[in-house]
Amino acid sequence: MTELLPIARQFSGSSAAVLPLGNGLINETYLVTTATEPFVLQCINARVFPEPETILTNLTEIGRHIDSKAPDKVELKIPRLVKSSDGLESVRDNQGRLWRATTYIADTVSLESLGDLREARQTGFALGHFHRLLSDLNPARLMDTLPGFHIAPAYLARYREVQTIADPQRIDPECSAFIERHQMFAEDLEAAKSRGLLPLRIIHGDPKLNNFLFARDRNKVVGLIDLDTVKPGLLHYDIGDCLRSCCHRIENDAFDPDIGEAILGSYLGEAGHFFTDPDYNYLYASIRLIPFELGLRFYTDHLEGDRYFKVEGPGQNLDRALGQFRLCASILGQERAIMGLIESLRGKAAN
C-alpha cells in the first residue's frame, strides 16, 4: 500500500505504513501507522455517495452534539475527523477521489458473530445509547448522505425495472417468487411515516454487528463506527438491521430468537423512554422488512451485473439474496413468538 503513503502523509507527515482495515462492501478503508497515533484513512465511494462532503458535515455535527453532553453520560466512542496539514477535512487524489481521515479507536475488536447473550445485550445497549445520545438533536441539522437509502418501495420499483431487461440466465426463480409473495412488506414503514405514526429521528443507517467495537475482553461495546450513513430516518431501520445482522444463523439462515430477545430488551432499556405506542406497533414490521429489503437489493444488483456491492466471484450477490430471503422466511415462521416478545417488552416499559 506504499502508493497511498503520499495521501496519508497529507494528514500526518509521519505516516509510515498503510494497511487494509475491515471488510466493508462500499468504501476502501485502511489503517495508517504514524510516529504518534494511528488513524483510519478512507476513500469514500462516489458512486454510492454522490456528495461525500455531506458525510463530513454530519460527522462534525454529531461529534459536536455528543461533546456538549456531560462526559459521564456518554458511554460510546465515535470516530472524529482528523484534519490535513492544510487544515482541510478531506483531500483529493489525482483521480479526483475524496479521502478523509478519522481517529482510530484502539484496543478493540470487531465481531462477525456473537459468542453469547452478554455480547448481544451489549450490542442492543450500544445501539440504544447511540439513539439516546442523539435523540435531542434536531434531525433537520443533518444532511441526507444517501437519498433513497432504506426506502423499500423505491428498491422494489427499481427491481421491477431491472427485471424486465435482465439477462434471463441471471434470473433466479426462488428469489423472484419470494419477492412476489411478500412485496407488500416494502410499504410498511414508509406508509407509517407518511401517516405521521413514525417520526424522523437520527439513525446510524448501517448498524450491522461488525460496526460495533468491543473491548478486547468482549465484555463491553466501547465504540460505533462506519457513520457514513448517519442521517434523518426511522429508528426502525436501525433496529431491524441490527437484528438482521446479529440474529442471522449463517449455517441455516434462521433467525435466532434468544439473541433477538437479548438485543431488543437491552435496546429498549436504554432507548425505550422515548418510544411511543406506534414505535412498538411497527417493531415486528421492521424485523421482517430489513432482510427482505436487503435481499431485494442483493438480487437487483445480481441482475444488473454486480455494480453496487463488492463481490469476490460470480453469483455472490445471488447467494447473499437467497440467504436474506431465507432469514426473512424464518422470521415469518416465528411471527407469533416475536410479536409476543415485543408485547412483553412493552409491558415491562409501562411498569
Please state, rounded to an integer, the average pLDDT across all residues of the chain: 94
pLDDT of residue 348: 83
* Residue 24 in this model has a pLDDT that exceeds 70: no
pLDDT of residue 26: 66
pLDDT of residue 351: 64
Label residue 2 by pLDDT band (50, 70, 90): confident
- Kindly list the distances between the CA atom of residue 244 and the CA atoms of 67, 118, 194, 228, 324, in Å, as whole numbers in the listed order: 31, 18, 24, 19, 9
Mean local confidence (pLDDT), 217-231 = 95
Which residue has cell 427499481?
158
Label residue 1 by pLDDT band (50, 70, 90): low
* Residue 350 in this model has a pLDDT that exceeds 80: no
* Residue 272 in this model has a pLDDT that exceeds 70: yes
Which of 18-32, 173-187, 266-280 is least confident? 18-32
Residues 349, 343: Cα–Cα separation, whole Å: 10
Q: Tell me: the pLDDT tens digits for 135-144? A: 999 999 999 9
CB neighbour list of residue 305: distance below 8 Å, 6 or more residues apart: 170
Residues 23, 270: Cα–Cα separation, whole Å: 29
Helices of type H across the chain: 5-8, 53-67, 117-133, 152-165, 173-182, 188-194, 235-246, 257-271, 277-281, 283-303, 316-333, 335-350
pLDDT of residue 308: 84
For residue 242, count other CB atoms closer than 10 A to its CB: 28
pLDDT of residue 50: 86
Mean local confidence (pLDDT), 23-36 = 81
pLDDT of residue 25: 56
* Residue 168 in this model has a pLDDT that exceeds 90: yes
Is 93 in contact with 179 (CB distance < 8 Å)?
no
* Residue 267 in this model has a pLDDT that exceeds 90: yes
Q: Tell me: the pLDDT tens digits for 70-102? A: 999 999 999 999 999 999 999 999 898 999 999
End-to-end CA distance of the chain: 56
The reply to whether the predicted model has a pTM over 0.85 is: yes
* Residue 162 in this model has a pLDDT that exceeds 80: yes
- In three-state secondary structure terms, 164 is helix
Nearest by Cα to 28 from 11, 45, 4: 45
Quick one: what percent of the chain has pLDDT higher than 90? Answer: 86
Is 120 in contact with 227 (CB distance < 8 Å)?
no
pLDDT of residue 118: 97
Angle at which helix 235-246 crosses helix 283-303, to 10 degrees, equals: 70
Q: Tell me: the pLDDT tens digits for 44-53? A: 888 888 889 9
- In three-state secondary structure terms, 248 is strand
pLDDT of residue 99: 94
Residues 119, 214: Cα–Cα separation, whole Å: 9
Q: Tell me: the pLDDT tens digits for 125-135? A: 999 999 999 99
pLDDT of residue 23: 67
Mean local confidence (pLDDT), 159-182 = 96
Which of 18-22, 247-251, 331-335 is least confident? 18-22
Quick one: what percent of the chain has pLDDT higher than 70? Answer: 98
